A and B are shown apart, each in its own frame.
Chain A
Amino acid sequence: EAGVAQSPRYKIIEKRQSVAFWCNPISGHATLYWYQQILGQGPKLLIQFQNNGVVDDSQLPKDRFSAERLKGVDSTLKIQPAKLEDSAVYLCASSSLRGLYPDTQYFGPGTRLTVL
């Protein structure tokens, strides 16, 4: 079974520029998550999709971050404009969400963003 795919793996931009990340979840997984991991910290959830609907985006800075999951499969996360404090690894994860019980989340390799 193929894992969660993400691209690009690395991105360097200047502040105020825009950037987009792409994620392809494990086949058949209905739920997709985007996390931000700042150096030395644990991942922090930004947004959760179930199929193509948003379940939780309470921690997404909506003035500059946006995400979409068209057709309930791939997803893109965009930052516009980027700030220095957005430098982090952006992780995508997916799960099958079979019921009310929390389900196992599988992570991709992440995209390391550096904002100069």
Chain B
Amino acid sequence: GENVEQHPSTLSVQEGDSAVIKCTYSDSASNYFPWYKQELGKGPQLIIDIRSNVGEKKDQRIAVTLNKTAKHFSLHITETQPEDSAVYFCAASRRGNNRLAFGKGNQVVVIP
């Protein structure tokens, strides 16, 4: 089955700086890559997703890039704010089913 890995496990950034989290996946048939943000005591919340027919997608301060050849995708957060502090999960699934394989998560800490 699909295997998704995230790096780094913990990331500390100064407020206003950028944060980048990278994920790699193993299944070349995967075609959908969402990113979820999870705050303490809450369920994961979708923040952005990308499908394999595009290489980049942006939504205000958040962007995701996909490199299908290298089988990795990255989350970029610009102008970080304290409320961006959370655990971020990447996931992948393939055409024909909705099974999401999640990474282990990255703890992002934004230092005021």
> Which A residues are closer than 8 A to B by beta carbons?
4, 31, 33, 40-45, 48, 55-56, 91, 93, 95, 97, 100-110
The answer to whether B104 touches A104, judged by C-beta atoms less than 8 angstroms apart, is no
Q: Does B24 contact A (CB under 8 A)?
A: no
Query: Within 8 Å CB of A91, what residues of B?
Result: 43-44
Interface of A is mostly: loop
Query: Within 8 Å CB of B31, what residues of A?
Result: 101-102
Query: Within 8 Å CB of A44, what residues of B?
Result: 102
The answer to whether B43 touches A109, judged by C-beta atoms less than 8 angstroms apart, is yes
A100 to B93 CA separation, bound complex (whole angstroms): 12
The answer to whether A45 touches B99, judged by C-beta atoms less than 8 angstroms apart, is yes
The answer to whether A97 touches B104, judged by C-beta atoms less than 8 angstroms apart, is no
A42 to B6 CA separation, bound complex (whole angstroms): 10
A40 to B45 CA separation, bound complex (whole angstroms): 17
The answer to whether B102 touches A43, judged by C-beta atoms less than 8 angstroms apart, is yes
Query: Within 8 Å CB of B36, what residues of A?
Result: 107
Whether A42 contacts B32 in the complex (CB less than 8 A), given A56-B97, A101-B95, A102-B94, comes out as no
Query: Within 8 Å CB of B51, what residues of A?
Result: 101
Query: Within 8 Å CB of A95, what residues of B?
Result: 98
A55 to B98 CA separation, bound complex (whole angstroms): 10
The answer to whether A104 touches B34, judged by C-beta atoms less than 8 angstroms apart, is yes
Our pick among A31, A41, A43, A110 for the contact of B98 (Cβ within 8 Å) is: A31
- Which of B43, B44, B49, B102 gathers most chain A CB within 10 Å? B43
